[in-house]
């Protein structure tokens, strides 16, 4: 088993990363770094530099921090000769992730920009089914309750936090994976609470008749759906990609293995010092923030 250090012990780390590592035959959670969180039975640090110095035996770092501070941690880890795994979105900007990729290549270590929704059970068969199809239209409906999934986490509304595009990048990671043709953004409407710096909702229009509605104010049932119309039938993904239907017939459904699958892939990359850096979902976010018409809506408070 390979020793790994988990940095940032917040909700996503506790809910997803810790169980995924614990259930893997490839990994041993050897240390954590966090200002407040820890994992029972695992050595904990509050200082990343101290961990790098005292635990040279840990070759892999998984960063679960918010996007803004992630670059500095990743750069230090790479400089120390460690392989690095980045929670999505992989950074606060495109340029900094490209810089990390160059650093990792020069250092001969692996860098993995993870997109967990691509590992959902319905995504790979959806991609295969669409490969030879002519797509006539796509609609994304990605609406959830920020209070449920990011309770009290003000960083998501701070510059670099990406707002609704934090969960929205999950949908963008799926469409950039499954669509058989390229798309680019033509227009966007962004909705900013009057007291926040990032959008709480967005409507987007791409080429190829692709549209998307994203909203962080959805109460009750949550919506993580993508519908793809083709000349030969309709494909739909639900529950964030876990369920696949073709012409209304269930094709794929199953238990969530998104994060275990990410760690399976990281193990493969580390064995060969290979990297996997895909920023295509972030390109659409950057384009939305460039092209988007800003609308101010009511203040938001947790």
CATH number of the domain residue 123 falls in: 3.30.360.10
56, two tokens: 């040279």
Q: Which residues contact 252 (CB under 8 A, 6 or more apart)?
A: 121, 122, 125, 126, 243, 244
Indicate the pTM of the whole model.
0.95
Catalytically active residues, by annotation: 88
Asked if 127 and 87 sit in the same domain, the reply is no
Asked if 100 and 127 sit in the same domain, the reply is no
- At 153 the pLDDT is 93
- Domain count for the chain: 2
273, part of any domain: no
91, part of any domain: yes
How many C-alpha atoms does 263 have within 13 Å on its Cβ side?
28
Asked if 162 and 177 sit in the same domain, the reply is yes
CA distance 199 to 191: 5
Asked if 29 and 123 sit in the same domain, the reply is no
| H-run or E-run covering 288 | helix 280-291
Instruction: Give the dihedral sign, CA 25/27/29/30.
Output: positive
Domain boundary among 87, 113, 139: 113
260, part of any domain: no
Asked if 103 and 172 sit in the same domain, the reply is no
Asked if 87 and 138 sit in the same domain, the reply is no
242, two tokens: 């876990």
Asked if 100 and 190 sit in the same domain, the reply is no
236, part of any domain: yes
Length of the chain in residues, anyone? 302
Asked if 103 and 121 sit in the same domain, the reply is no
- At 256 the pLDDT is 76
Domain boundary among 92, 113, 134: 113
Domain boundary among 94, 113, 132: 113
21, part of any domain: yes
53, part of any domain: yes
Asked if 123 and 93 sit in the same domain, the reply is no
- Angle between the N-to-C axes of helices 165-178 and 280-291, in degrees from 0 to 180, rounded to the nearest 10: 120
Question: How many angstroms separate the Cα of 209 from the Cα of each of 77, 151, 287?
Answer: 42, 35, 17
- At 150 the pLDDT is 92
Instruction: Give the dihedral sign, CA 210/214/220/222.
Output: positive
* CATH number (domain holding residue 97): 3.40.50.720
Asked if 135 and 249 sit in the same domain, the reply is yes
Range of the domain at 292: 117-254+285-297
Question: How many angstroms separate the Cα of 300 from the Cα of each of 161, 193, 292?
Answer: 15, 6, 20
Positions in the chain short of pLDDT 50: none
269, part of any domain: no
Asked if 57 and 147 sit in the same domain, the reply is no
The helix/strand/coil state of 161 is: coil
152, part of any domain: yes
258, two tokens: 């998104």
Asked if 154 and 289 sit in the same domain, the reply is yes
């Amino acid at each position: 088993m390979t020793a790994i250090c988990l940095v940032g012990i917040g909700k996503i780390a506790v809910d997803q990363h810790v169980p995924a590592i614990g259930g893997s035959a490839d990994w041993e959670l050897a240390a954590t770094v966090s200002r407040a969180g820890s994992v029972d039975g695992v050595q904990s640090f509050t200082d990343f530099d101290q961990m790098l110095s005292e635990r040279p035996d840990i070759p892999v770092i998984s960063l679960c921090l918010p996007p803004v501070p992630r670059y500095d941690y990743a750069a230090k880890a790479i400089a120390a000769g460690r392989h690095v795994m980045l929670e999505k979105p992989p950074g606060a900007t495109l340029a900094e992730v490209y810089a990390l990729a160059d650093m990792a290549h020069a250092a001969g270590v692996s860098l993995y920009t993870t997109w967990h929704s691509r590992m959902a059970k319905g995504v790979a068969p959806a991609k295969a089914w669409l490969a030879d199809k002519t797509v006539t239209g796509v609609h994304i409906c990605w609406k959830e309750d920020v209070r449920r999934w990011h309770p009290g986490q003000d960083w998501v509304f701070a510059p670099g936090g990406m707002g609704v595009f934090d969960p929205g990048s999950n949908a963008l990671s799926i469409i950039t994976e499954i669509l058989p043709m390229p798309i680019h953004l033509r227009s966007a409407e962004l909705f900013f609470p009057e007291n926040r710096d990032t959008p709480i909702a967005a409507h987007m229009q791409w080429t190829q008749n692709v549209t998307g509605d994203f909203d962080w104010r959805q109460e009750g049932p949550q919506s993580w759906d993508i519908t793809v119309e083709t000349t030969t039938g309709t494909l739909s993904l639900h529950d964030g990609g876990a369920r696949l239907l073709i012409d209304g017939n269930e094709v794929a459904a199953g238990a969530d293995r998104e994060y275990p699958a990410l760690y399976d892939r990281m193990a493969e990359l580390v064995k060969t010092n290979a990297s996997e850096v895909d920023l295509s979902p972030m390109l659409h976010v950057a384009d939305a923030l460039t092209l988007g018409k800003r609308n101010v809506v009511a203040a938001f408070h947790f």
